[in-house]
Amino acid sequence: MSNTNVKKYSKISWIAFTFTISIVLISSIPVIFPALFSEVFFIPKSEGIGVPTQFENDPFEFGILAIPLIVTNISVLIFFFLIRKSQLNEKIKTFTKFKISQKISIIIVIILIGIYISISYTEIGFGTYHALIDEEYVDWDRLKNRIINMQSIWPDQLSSEPHFKHTLLKISQIIFGNFYVIPYLSSIGLLIITYLFTSKITNNRIAGIISLVLVLQSNLFLTFDTSATYASFWIMLYLLSLYAMIKTWPLSPMFYLLALFTKLSVILYGPLSLFFILNSEISKQQKIIITISISLIFLVSLGYGSTQDFVKVDWEWNDFWIGFTAFAFQLRLDGLIVVFLLPLTIGLFIKSKTNKYSTSILILIGGILLISPITSGFLNETNQPYRYLSLIVFFAVGVGLLFSRAKTTDIE
C-alpha cells in the first residue's frame, strides 16, 4: 500500500521543534539539579582575588520538583504510546471534535471571569487614597512618585521610559483615584484575549476556555494581576498584536508598538512576531505589509536602545548559562507549567502536522525561554518573575491547541 498520502512534518516544524526542545531540556536541568549551573558557572568575586569559597552546594542535589518532573514526563510518554495502541485514542479524538455554541462559550467565559473578579477585586483597594496604597516592590516608590508628579497623561520624561504604561497608570489615578484599576482591567483583558486568540487558531471554543482556565489558575498571574509596578499591559498588548494579525491585520503593528511603549524589552519579541507572521494563514500581501511594519519598529527600537546609557551590552558567558536557572526558580510555584512543558513541546510538534500555528507557539515558547539567558548574559539585567507571564500565556495557548482537531485550512 502506498504511503504517499501520509502527511509528513515540514522542515520548519523540525527546526522549530529542535530549537524549542533543546531550550526546554536545558531549562529543565535546574529544575532537577537547582545548584548545578550556579556551581559550574557562577564565580564569586572573592575567588577572583584568591579567597576560596567557604560554602559549596551539592550540584546534584534534587530540587523540590525533580521527582514530579521525571515521573510525570515518563508517565506521559508511556500513556501516549498506550493510547495510540488502544481504543482510548478514538475516544480522545471524539472529545477533541466536540464543540460548543458561541452563546454557551460566552456564558462560560463570563462565569469564569465573574468568579475571578468576585475573589480578587478587594486587592485593588477601592476607597483608599492612592498615595496610601503601596506595593512591596523595589521599583514601586520611584514609579508612584513619577506618576503622581505627572502634569498630564503623557509623560514629559526621558524617551526611554515606558510612556504608555505611565499614561495608563495616570489615567487610572485620575478617573478612579487608584493606580490599580486599569492594571486589573488589563489582566481581565488578557484572559479574554487568551480565549479569543486560542479559539481563533484552533477553531474550537473549548480550547479557548481551557487556555483561559490555565492562565487563571497560574500563581504568577494571580501575583501580578493587580500590580501597577509590573502591570500586564505589555503581554496583553503583545498578544493582541498577534491576534490582530489573523483577525484585523492592519492593527497588529500598532499594538506591537504600544506594547513597546509599556515595556522596552518587548523588542526581543520582534523576531518571534516575524516568524508568527510568516507562518500564519493570511494572504501574501498582508504578510509583506505586516512584516515590513514590524521589522521597521523592531530595527528602529533596537537601534535606539543600543544608543542609550541604561542599556549596557556586555557579553558574559557564565551569566548566560546561569540565566537558564530563572525558569526553575521563578516558576517554582507554577509546578503545572514546569512539569508539563516538555510533554507540551512534543505534543505541539505532533500537532504541527495539521495546524501550522503549533509551530508558531513552539517558537514563542522556545524564544521566551531563551530571552532570560540573553537578558542576563548580554544585557546584564536580572530576570524578574513577571517576565514569565508571557510563557504562562503561550503554555496555555499550546495546551488549547492539543485539544483541537481543526486543520489550519479549517481556520477562517
Residue 136 lies in a domain: yes
Residue 222 lies in a domain: yes
Tell me whether residue 296 is exposed, middle or buried, using C-beta atoms within 10 angstroms of its C-beta: 0 to 12, 13 to 18, 19 or more.
exposed
How confident is the model at residue 216, as a pLDDT?
A: 97
How confident is the model at residue 50, as a pLDDT?
A: 52
Task: Kindly calculate the radius of gyration of the chain based on its CA atoms and give it in whole angstroms.
Answer: 22
DSSP conformational letter for 63: P
Q: Which of 348, 351, 280 is nearest to 7 (CA)?
A: 351
Q: How far, in Å, are 152, 184, 234, 238, 244 from residue 163 at the CA level? A: 12, 19, 12, 16, 22
The pTM of this model reads 0.91
Residue 389 lies in a domain: yes
How confident is the model at residue 8, as a pLDDT?
A: 76
How confident is the model at residue 87, as a pLDDT?
A: 59
How confident is the model at residue 123, as a pLDDT?
A: 86
H/E element holding 247?
Answer: helix 233-247
Residue 6 lies in a domain: no
How confident is the model at residue 378, as a pLDDT?
A: 82
Three cell numbers, residue 185: 482591567
Distance (Å, whole) CA 228 – CA 211: 24
How confident is the model at residue 3, as a pLDDT?
A: 44
How confident is the model at residue 4, as a pLDDT?
A: 42
Residue type at 408 in one-letter notation: T
Number of domains forming the structure of the chain: 1
Three cell numbers, residue 270: 520582534
Q: Who contacts 371 (Cβ-Cβ below 8 Å, separation ≥6)?
A: 265, 268, 269, 387
Domain that holds residue 144: 11-403
Residue 1 lies in a domain: no
H/E element holding 395?
Answer: helix 389-402
User: Phi-psi category of 6—alpha, beta or left, where left has phi over 0 and alpha has psi -120 to 50?
Assistant: beta
Residue 326 lies in a domain: yes
Residue 4 lies in a domain: no
Q: Quickly tell me which residue has 541604561 as its cell.
A: 310
Residue ranges, the chain, pLDDT below 50: 1-5
Residue 3 lies in a domain: no
User: Phi-psi category of 134—alpha, beta or left, where left has phi over 0 and alpha has psi -120 to 50?
Assistant: beta
140-158 tens-digit pLDDT: 888 888 888 887 777 665 5
DSSP conformational letter for 398: H
